[in-house]
């Protein structure tokens, strides 16, 4: 199981973009290597390969949601601005103090933090402070942003905080296609202008970071603009562009399926249990401190394995839910009805998924 799923995150990208993305990963990994991190990585992989349930290693990367609030309304995103349903996590912001508490417990072992979940990280100043703090601890910092931000200091804030990688989300090159994906408030011209200013100033300063990668979810209604996106990326000096398969429910309208990612019938092999490395290598932390093994169904606090702001990270990491999940990964047939973790409904392990309420509503409104 490779450390990075290179193939699916670069499908449809040109060779140059593929090389840039791969190089970025390898260099980042080497840049943040320390002896404790290397020892922990080896222990973690050993635990994963031998299928231990209670483990003597820590995660080596985290996804931390600095905020669950957003200014846009992407069609299939739980971070969009719709009202929350009962039982769903409210949207809010993590404080710098809370972020430091997480770093104090885990930072020694982390190569990288992806500081975004389902919300827009650039909306709030604490994001820059968090990046500065983690960078000062030699942790590689990544954010993904829609870049729909109006701020006179945006360029300087990004360039001065130590950010290593900026993923720029933009799913089209014209207002019409971008708004179909990202909602009526999306402003593609503003986003591209912000990126252009950032690249110009970064290059003027002869600064290497952040590396900027455009992430483009390909659908039937925006695939005709992929060439234009490539040309725009080149013109603006964006380092790489990757065309990815968007997630949406299988019964979404035909316009969501592209020739690159067509609708297809599921075969038996789609339901065959595979392995999963998340509960060994990383974790997902919501803005309110709720921990999940990955971002699957993060909207429901009932799925949390614990809360890092009120409990000790280690005790959650080797607590009941993590131990049960690792046992399921080792042997999905060991499932017992008393075993209730998010992994026990995960298609990756061959289980039948439940359909969350918000998703059922979206499907009805499609």
Q: Which residues bind ligand SF4 (CB under 6 A)?
A: 70, 72-74, 77, 79-80, 118-120, 146, 169, 182, 276, 278-279, 293-294, 296, 325, 342-343, 346, 348-349
Nearer of residues 154 and 323 to ligand SAM, judged by Cβ = 154
- Tell me which DSSP letter residue 210 carries: S
- Tell me which DSSP letter residue 93 carries: B
Instruction: Find out whether 103 and 125 touch, Cβ atoms under 8 Å.
Output: no
- Residue 100 interacts, among ligand SF4, ligand SAM, none and using kind-specific CB cut-offs from 5 to 8 Å, with none
Smallest separation, CB 19 to ligand SAM (Å): 21
**96-135 footprint of ligand SAM as x/- string (CB under 6 A):** --------------------x-x-x---------------
- Tell me which DSSP letter residue 354 carries: P
Q: Which residues lie across from 143 on neighbouring strands?
A: 166
Smallest separation, CB 143 to ligand SF4 (Å): 11
Residue 148 sits in the site that holds ligand SAM (CB under 6 A): no
- Tell me which DSSP letter residue 113 carries: E
Nearer of residues 120 and 164 to ligand SF4, judged by Cβ = 120
Nearest in space to 112 (alpha carbons), one of 164, 67, 161, 169: 164
Phi then psi dihedrals of residue 240, to 5 deg: -160, 155
Nearer of residues 109 and 256 to ligand SAM, judged by Cβ = 256
SS3 of 235-256: HHCCCEEEEECCCCCCCCCHHH
Site for ligand SAM in 219-248 (CB under 6 A): 246-248
Nearer of residues 165 and 182 to ligand SF4, judged by Cβ = 182
CA angle 21, 23, 26 (to 5 degrees): 110
Nearest in space to 157 (alpha carbons), one of 139, 130, 137, 138: 130
Binding site for ligand SAM (CB under 6 A): 70, 74, 76-77, 79, 116, 118, 120, 144-146, 167, 169, 215, 217, 246-248
């Amino acid at each position: 199981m490779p450390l990075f799923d290179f193939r699916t995150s670069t499908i449809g990208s040109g060779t140059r973009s593929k090389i840039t993305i791969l190089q970025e990963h390898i260099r980042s990994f080497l840049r943040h290597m320390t002896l404790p991190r290397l020892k922990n990585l080896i222990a973690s992989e050993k635990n994963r390969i031998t299928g231990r349930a209670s483990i003597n290693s820590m995660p080596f990367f985290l996804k931390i949601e600095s905020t669950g609030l957003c200014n846009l309304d992407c069609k299939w995103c739980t971070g969009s601005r719709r009202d929350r349903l009962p039982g769903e996590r409210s949207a809010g912001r993590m404080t710098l103090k809370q972020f430091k508490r997480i770093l104090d417990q885990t930072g020694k072992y982390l190569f990288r933090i992806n500081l975004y979940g389902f919300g827009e990280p650039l909306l709030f100043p604490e994001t820059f402070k968090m990046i500065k703090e983690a960078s000062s601890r030699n942790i590689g910092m990544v954010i993904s942003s829609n870049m729909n931000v109006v701020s006179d200091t945006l360029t300087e804030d990004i360039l001065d905080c130590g950010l290593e990688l900026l993923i720029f989300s933009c799913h089209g090159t014209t207002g019409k296609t971008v708004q179909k994906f990202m909602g009526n408030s999306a402003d593609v011209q503003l986003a591209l202008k912000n990126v252009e200013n950032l690249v110009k100033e970064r290059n003027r300063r002869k600064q290497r970071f952040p590396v900027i990668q455009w992430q483009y979810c390909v659908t039937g209604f925006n695939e005709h603009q992929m060439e234009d996106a490539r040309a725009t990326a080149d013109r603006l000096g964006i380092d790489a562009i990757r065309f990815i398969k968007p997630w949406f429910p299988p019964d979404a309208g035909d316009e969501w399926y592209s020739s690159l990612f067509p609708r297809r019938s599921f075969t038996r092999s789609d339901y065959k249990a595979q392995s999963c490395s998340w509960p060994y290598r990383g974790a997902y932390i919501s803005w309110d401190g709720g921990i999940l093994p990955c971002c699957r169904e993060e909207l429901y606090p009932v799925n949390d394995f614990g809360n890092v702001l009120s409990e000790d990270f280690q005790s959650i990491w080797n607590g009941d839910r993590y131990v049960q999940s690792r046992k399921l990964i080792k042997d999905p047939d060991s499932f017992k009805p008393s075993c209730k973790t998010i992994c026990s409904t995960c298609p990756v392990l061959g289980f039948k998924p439940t359909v969350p309420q918000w998703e059922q509503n979206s499907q009805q409104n499609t």
